[in-house]
Amino acid sequence: MSKIINVIPEENYRLLVELDNASTIILNLETRLTTMRFALLADPVFFHQVTWDEGFLRWGDKLDISLTEIFQLART
């Protein structure tokens, strides 16, 4: 399974997720900001506080998105 090696927050609530296999995913969260799950990300300051480890994007202890979920969200 691939691992996350870097994440770059971009404009319009997009995340550029770089993987260890040289692939990148542009994850567009803009349309999901009105959902209960992702509502905290509507705050641009909070959105840009994203960190990562090999398998998750994290916003402190408030929200995390697994690599599996990233793949699912990127497809829809």
Question: Could you write out the DSSP letters of every residue in 29-43?
Answer: -GGGTTSTTTGGGGS
Domain locations along the chain: 4-75
Instruction: Please give the CATH number for the structural domain made up of 4-75.
Output: 3.30.2020.10
Q: Is 18 helix (H, G, I), strand (E, B) or coil?
A: strand
- In 3D space, the residue among 74, 44, 50 whose CA is nearest the CA of residue 62 turns out to be 50
Give residue-wise pLDDT tens across range 22-75. 999 999 999 999 999 999 999 999 999 999 999 999 999 999 999 999 999 998
Give residue-wise pLDDT tens across range 7-21. 999 999 999 999 999
Q: What is the rounded CA–CA span in Å between residue 47 and residue 1?
A: 26
pLDDT, residue 75, reads: 86
Kindly report the pTM of this predicted structure: 0.93
pLDDT, residue 40, reads: 98
pLDDT, residue 76, reads: 73
Sheet containing 14-19: which strands, arranged edge to edge?
A: 4-10, 14-19, 24-28
